[in-house]
Structure 1
Amino acid sequence: MEWRDTGILLSLRKHGENSAIVEAFTPEHGRHAGVVRGASSRKLGPVLQPGAQLDLQWRARLEDHLGSYTVELQRSRAAQAMGSRLALAGLNAVVALLGFCLPEREPHLPLYQRSEALLDLLGQDELWPLAYLRWEMSLLEELGYGLDLSSCAVTGAIQGLVHVSPKSGRAVSAKGAGEWADRLLPLPPVLRGEGAAEDADIIEALRVTGFFLESKLAPAIGTRPVPEARARLIDRLEQGLS
């Protein structure tokens, strides 16, 4: 078995003396692992950094085997990631969430395209928070837990939407909420693509998407919690407000 694809390096872990098991997110083969020989060498060590864009050639005797990768660097994102604390926190959050959420060997082309575009914005701190929020919403959508904020789940109204149902992920108006308002999540305008998208509003919106990551997506995956890298990114955004 053999294929060639591009991919975003998500993680690597030591395998034997000089090799590593590398996980990459590819457009055609999804999250896919393989062994890279000589991963700790002078040639490959600087290449195999999380977030790097790689040309990947995978080989295995049988399709269900781990197989091995031959890799070449297409684009490094290390300099952009190290350019600011926000960029580094953002990169770590993205690759950690992709590694956490994605099923193995299942293509998710729209999410791949959004992920590549997001990582290409690393270092542009004025654009990153809103771009990351949009990406996280697309992550939930792609994996079956998207938010429906088009109209009120109770009345059908498209105006005055101020809450999100924690059960269904649908918008709820003030009138529709009634006495249940204190049990609902807030609906920041930025989640609907409205308002000024200030960092404080984006952080509030990320608390909403975070609720669905933690209460819906994570339990569906198993017992693992949402990666700490996401919480560190939120902390970094909050520090930027102080």
Structure 2
Amino acid sequence: MPTLVTPALVCALRPHGEHGAIARLLTPDHGLVAGYVRGGRSRLMRPVLLPGNSVMATFRARTEDQLAGLTVEMAHSRAPLYAEPLPAAAIDWSCALTAAALSEGTPHPALYRALDGVLGAIEAAPAARGWAVALVRYELLLLAELGFGLDLSRCAALGDADDLAYVSPRSAAAVSRAGAVGYEHLLLPLPSFLLAGGTGEWADIMDGFALTGFFLERSVLTDRRVDILAARERLVDRLKRAVA
């Protein structure tokens, strides 16, 4: 990757040196890419490098193994959303999850499109219910892209596809109401919007977050990802208080 010019979504930023920063950006065709931004912590660059912003990025490196130098131009700012607690928490979590979960340089075009869609929904929806479903679906897609997808096609116990209502925490497979009799307390509720599409009631949405959160914590956000999980807990807590 001597030079790469691409649209990208800012996912994470950390200080590097006295004035610089390392930004991790999700790109359409090259997955997550990191680069060093000279003056990345300056008053001029901080608003550009906010997670959730859409930018045009130029990465330049002498070798494949070298950390690329990065320059960015703003394509679309989502900075105004940071003034609102719920949208800010949703952007913080969705971008932090992406940066923590993906390996650099592995293409995930479906995730790029999905994250761009989630960020657009957070920006456009008049209320949280308009984007919360999209965020649950994004988490489900990320699990699948990383090889930890849930099998929601048929009942793991009976083999049919009728009245699926739960997911087994052990097998990550759906279970029907009939197949779950006597074991409901051991299973995770499966919200209907993950099967039928459309929107969901708040109870279903919170069940969706509980479902994806279980598998993200078990399979993806392991070891030292405490700060990442804290971002998710803040989001879920704010959603619960908003609909209480």
Q: Fold-level match, TM-score > 0.5?
A: yes
Cα distance in 1 between the residues matched to 2:29 and 2:197? 34
Q: TM-score, normalised by structure 2?
A: 0.91
Q: TM-score, normalised by structure 1?
A: 0.91
Kindly report structure 1 stretches of 4+ aligned residues shifted beyond 6 Å: none
TM-superposed deviation, 1:217: 2.2
Q: CA deviation at 1:176?
A: 2.1
Q: Report how far residue 58 of structure 1 moved.
A: 0.7
Residue aligned with 1:120, SS? helix
Who is 1:231 aligned against?
233
Task: State how far apart, in whole Å, the 2-side matches of 1:55 and 1:182 are.
Answer: 49
Runs of 5+ consecutive residues of structure 1 not aligned to the other structure:
none
Change (3 A) 1:108 1:194: closer
The answer to whether the Cα contact below 8 Å between 2:133 and 2:199 also exists between their aligned partners in 1 is no
RMSD: 1.8
Find the aligned partners of 2:21 and 2:150 in 1 and give their Cα distance.
Answer: 38
Identify the match of residue 146 of structure 1 among 146, 149, 153: 149
Is the 2:221–2:229 contact (alpha carbons within 8 Å) kept by the matching residues of 1?
no
Q: Paired residue for 2:209, among 201, 206, 209?
A: 206
Percent identity for Structure 1 against Structure 2: 41
Point out the more displaced range, 150-159 or 93-102.
150-159
Structure 2 residues not aligned, in runs of 5+: none
Q: How many residues align?
A: 239
Q: Which amino acid aligns with 2:66?
A: H
Equivalent residues of 1:18, 1:38 under 8 A apart: yes
Stretch of structure 1 that moved more, 26-35 or 168-177: 168-177
> Which stretch has the larger CA shift, 27-36 or 225-234?
225-234
Instruction: Give the AA of the match of 2:103.
Output: P
Deviations 1:160-209 (A, max 9, x none): 22221112211112332344433222222233236861112101121011
- The secondary structure found in structure 2 opposite 1:175 is coil
Please name the residue that 1:72 is paired with.
73
Residue 233 of structure 2 aligns to which amino acid in structure 1?
A
* Matching residue within 131, 136, 140 for 2:134: 131
